Structure 1
């Protein structure tokens, strides 16, 4: 229909217009456009929300597709154990290098993202995944260990940038009541990448019970990661993003390296209690080492590892949907939801990892799996030998999604500022990577499987105990706009929608704005 398409130019949210009251007097009124300007068509909705190019939802979908292509393929490859190789040493050493550089770069990547913008930061970050996948394709032919380790170190630099840009979009673009669902939607699309990526080696290795995965597996991953890096260039600049209510993301208008490093320091000094979340950050990637290498990579054959990997990432999707929507449950205040999520994490930690202990204590040692002639488990073994650990591995995937979703939601609940969110995301990924580097190194040193399991489980339980005061006492039902503006040089008018700006004006100058022309000649804001 001809009237379906919206005008290319709409009135500015804060533009006043002259209106006449019923009594004949006139005044200026601030109006909110029925629809924000942009590339939008009436009635076009996704997840029940209007979609246009500069909308937060469209930007979330774009960054989700980038992560679908890049980290999603990396996760699919890593989940095979040893990066798809029989000998895990190349991946262990590459992962140690990866997370070591990741840990250093991520601390400053929030400042880099604020300075360069999320579009360039995300695209550059995607290139590291392309080179990393290429190094394993090369390793299949020449066993060039050094290239794999170099690619891992480079990926650490790139991944630090990519995940910080992603975290900024996911935590600061949505309104407060939508953050759990935004995290959930991202996790669904992102993990679909790992699911589809896992189907590639499953299909190509369906009849293979030993040896590394085929070249076709690596080529498929390589093409997808390259597409993802290019797709990141389609993102919109932060300053042009506009929510459905007309408000914009809080950011720094004219960032410099000095202001960004100052903001990095202020993130900690303004709220020193946030360091109590750091153990949760540290623990958030440590379980991958035990799960992918010591359980899946060591105990199962090639095709069964590929099937387990697919089920693991599929379970993550269900975990993200359940936890993300629960965190946005409108029937309870946000502070209550935070406490409820914390209790749920405690229950999941002891239930799922308790089941893991029951399985791990009866398994063979690392030395036995290295012996010639060791027979790995195949899905055809069925029964207690395969079905039980298969479901356990799926629950591990569900747990990962629950843990990560809650952490992002906790950080998003502490601030709505894009600038502060970038710094928090940088801290999160940096500390997370330090933990991962430690555990990949422990695996490279061939520590016993029981030790790897116990260290992982103990760290998760301890991290929850330390984080309890922040989750229980510091997460508020809402974050005042004035609190977030302390982290920028913007004003209320820069970021609030028209009605929000009017409400702020009424609060700030009640006498001036509430007096009509009839009473004293002042303009009325309604």
Structure 2
């Protein structure tokens, strides 16, 4: 059946094209989209701003929340040791962070579906502000316990924040624009780390040795708190309507029992998702090596700040390149998935091969003796380029993994569970690698385990990428999952 859609002058949306699934009739129902300021486009000079309830507007809000919260956290972590000269307390706090993150993230999809993305995202932002405050306190009191507690609480908050973020980023955009939406988010998010890196760079411009100053932690505290407040401006998913008039497949606050069933249902009905778990595990595993075994071990305090800024700037470039390439219409989606896989595999060999050549020049013992590299040194260029390549690689890897997950479904409920798996397993890998650094495992072993995991996880994920990704995921297939898991809730209501 074909229906000609006319654009409403009030809303800018196709009249009669808002799609709602009617499970009893088995076909979409077309209704007049709602009116009001949420659905009205506005002009700012020659620029037409998207309406507030559009997927892109909501994505931008989420992106700037992450700009202010995890973006600033990344800038702080990128200094190595969270700005402390001795990374031990930061390592222990990070282990606590990722241990709770891994535990909570498996159920974060259930929590997000229950309380909504707005509350989930805002509560998640609170933990980042407390984390920065704990290091400000540590600078004056040496209160190690507070830092570790703040890390553990941040793990809970981060698990919720990233689940809400992943749900919106993967389920709100139309299929043909998912790569573009992912790259836009990743570019804005990493711009937060770039801007955030200016805080310690300015604060420590003359500091070659020692911990970063109080101004660094105060600046991060204020910005992170602003991110938690900004999250309250999000809309519920049932109010979001795409430009073509289609609605997001939203979750209507199901019971805890049906949500726990949803976790189990994904593993039972889609056991092939297990093949992606190694990619999830290795996706943040390299941070401990890059931040502590590379940036902290080999560079002066002010140079670490500059390195961090350029590392996150490289992430913006990497996300832009990969996201828009994955959405090119010159190739089919199946071909894009396979070409993307080959590209990531080659980068893993090339960039980390260069890293191996540099790592052979020092170890934990010699790093304490040999002079730190400063930006005035003649040999600074090569190590800087390598660190920027590490940042480029990180963004390309993350963008590709998110795009793969988004290509497997359009159902926000299922994608929330995917995101929960992703962040939970990712956090388990991070907890392990930061604990290895705390135990003073030789740098070369940390490097070897990182490179090996990245290559091995690509090999394991190849069958899913080459065989499961199709040109289009039908609404009937996506909604089947929701109907099956929500049947439990209907049974409970009868009781």
1:259 Cα shift? 1.2
Alpha carbons of structure 1 residues 281 and 8: separation in structure 2 relative to 1, 3 Å: closer
Larger radius of gyration: 1
Out of 10, 30, 46, the residue aligned to residue 6 of structure 1 is 10
- Contact residue 13 and residue 33 of structure 2 kept, 8 A: no
**Per-residue deviation, 1:194:** 0.1
CA contact (8 A) 2:12 2:39 kept: no
Q: CA deviation at 1:43?
A: 6.5
CA distance in 2, matches of 1:254, 1:445: 44
Q: Which residue of 1 aligns with 2:275?
A: 276
Distance in 1 of aligned mates of 2:93 and 2:103: 16
Partner of 1:149: 148
- Pick aligned residue for 1:487 from 459, 466, 481: 481
CA contact (8 A) 1:180 1:327 kept: yes
Alpha-carbon shift at residue 204 of structure 1 (Å): 1.2
- SS where residue 481 of structure 2 aligns? coil
Show CA shifts across 1:188-211 (max 9, x none): 110000000001111111111000
* Counterpart among 434, 441, 445 of residue 435 in structure 2: 441
Task: Give the secondary structure class of the aligned counterpart of 1:486.
Answer: helix
Counterpart for residue 423 of structure 1 = 417
Q: Which residue of 2 aligns with 1:133?
A: 132
The RMSD of aligned alpha carbons is 2.2
CA contact (8 A) 1:210 1:302 kept: yes
2:402 is matched with: 408
Q: Is the 8 A contact 1:69 1:224 kept in 2?
A: yes
SS in 2 for 1:54: coil
Judging changes above 3 Å, is the alpha-carbon distance between structure 1 residues 427 and 365 closer, same or farther for their aligned structure 2 residues? same
Shift of 1:449: 0.9
Is contact 1:99-1:437 (8 Å) kept?
yes
The CA deviation string for residues 457-491 of structure 1, in whole angstroms up to 9 with x for no partner, is 0110000010000001100010011001012249x
- Cα distance change on mapping 1:466 and 1:9 into 2, 3 Å: closer
Structure 1 runs (4+) deviating above 4 angstroms are: 7-15, 30-38, 40-46
Distance 1:5 1:137, change over 3 A: farther
Report the equivalent of 2:64. 65
Q: What is the DSSP-based 3-state SS (H/G/I as helix, E as strand, rest coil) of the residue aligned with 2:57? A: helix
Structure 1 residues 50 and 444, CA, compared in 2 at 3 Å: closer, same or farther? same
Q: Is residue 375 from structure 1 mapped to residue 371 from structure 2 by the alignment?
A: yes
| Structure 1 unmatched runs, 5+ | 16-29, 491-526
| DSSP-derived class of the 1:379 partner | coil
Question: Does 1:197 find its partner at 2:196?
Answer: yes
1:365 offset after TM fit, Å?
1.6
CA–CA separation in structure 2 for the residues paired with 1:342 and 1:74: 29
The equivalent of 1:518 in structure 2 is none
- 1:9, CA displacement in angstroms? 12
On the 8 A contact 2:11/2:35 being kept in 1, the answer is no
Match of 2:488 in 1: none
Q: Paired residue for 1:460, among 454, 460, 464? A: 454
Cα deviation 1:351-406 (Å, max 9, x = unaligned): 100111111112x22122335xx521101002xx2100100000000000000000
SS at match of 1:97: helix
- Say whether 1:355 aligns with 2:359: no
Alpha-carbon separation, structure 2, partners of 1:106 and 1:441: 19
How far apart are the structure 1 equivalents of 2:269 and 2:342?
27
Preserved contact between residue 36 and residue 242 of structure 1 (Cα < 8 Å): no
- Alpha-carbon distance between aligned partners in 2 of 1:37 and 1:399, rounded to the nearest angstrom: 43
**What are the Cα deviations for residues 6-52 of structure 1, in whole angstroms up to 9, with x where unaligned?**
3699966469xxxxxxxxxxxxxx98869976435556499x98611
- The CA distance in 2 between the partners of 1:356 and 1:333, in whole Å, is 34
TM-score by length of 1: 0.85
Displacement of 1:115: 0.8
SS in 2 for 1:407: helix
Task: State the partner residue of 1:183.
Answer: 182
* Pair 1:266–1:370, CA change in 2 (3 A): same
Provide the residue aligned with 2:165 in structure 1: 166
CA contact (8 A) 1:103 1:432 kept: yes
User: Which residue pairs with 2:115 in the alignment?
Assistant: 116
Contact 2:41 2:51 in 1 (8 A): no
- Quick check: 1:248 aligned with 2:247? yes
* Aligned 8 A contact 1:70 1:224 in 2: yes
Match of 1:394 in 2: 388
Superimposed CA distance per residue, residues 381-438 of structure 1 (whole angstroms, 9 cap, x where no aligned partner): 02xx210010000000000000000000000000000100100000000000000001
Distance 1:294 1:45, change over 3 A: farther
Distance 1:137 1:36, change over 3 A: same
Equivalent residue of 2:50, what SS?
A: strand
Number of matched pairs = 467
Deviating more after overlay: 280-289 vs 264-273: 264-273
Alignment CA distance shift 1:228-1:445 (3 Å): same
Counterparts of 1:14 and 1:356, CA distance in 2: 51
Instruction: Provide the rounded CA distance (Å) in 2 between the counterparts of 1:134 and 1:346.
Output: 40
Partners in 1 of 2:41 and 2:310 — Cα distance?
A: 39
Alpha carbons of structure 1 residues 136 and 357: separation in structure 2 relative to 1, 3 Å: same
Partner in structure 2 of residue 328 of structure 1: 327
One of 471, 475, 478 as aligned partner of 2:469: 475
State the distance in 1 between where 2:285 and 2:422 align.
13
| Distance of 2:13 and 2:197 partners within structure 1 | 45
Cα distance in 2, alignment partners of residues 430 and 50 from structure 1 = 36
Report what 1:212 is aligned to: 211
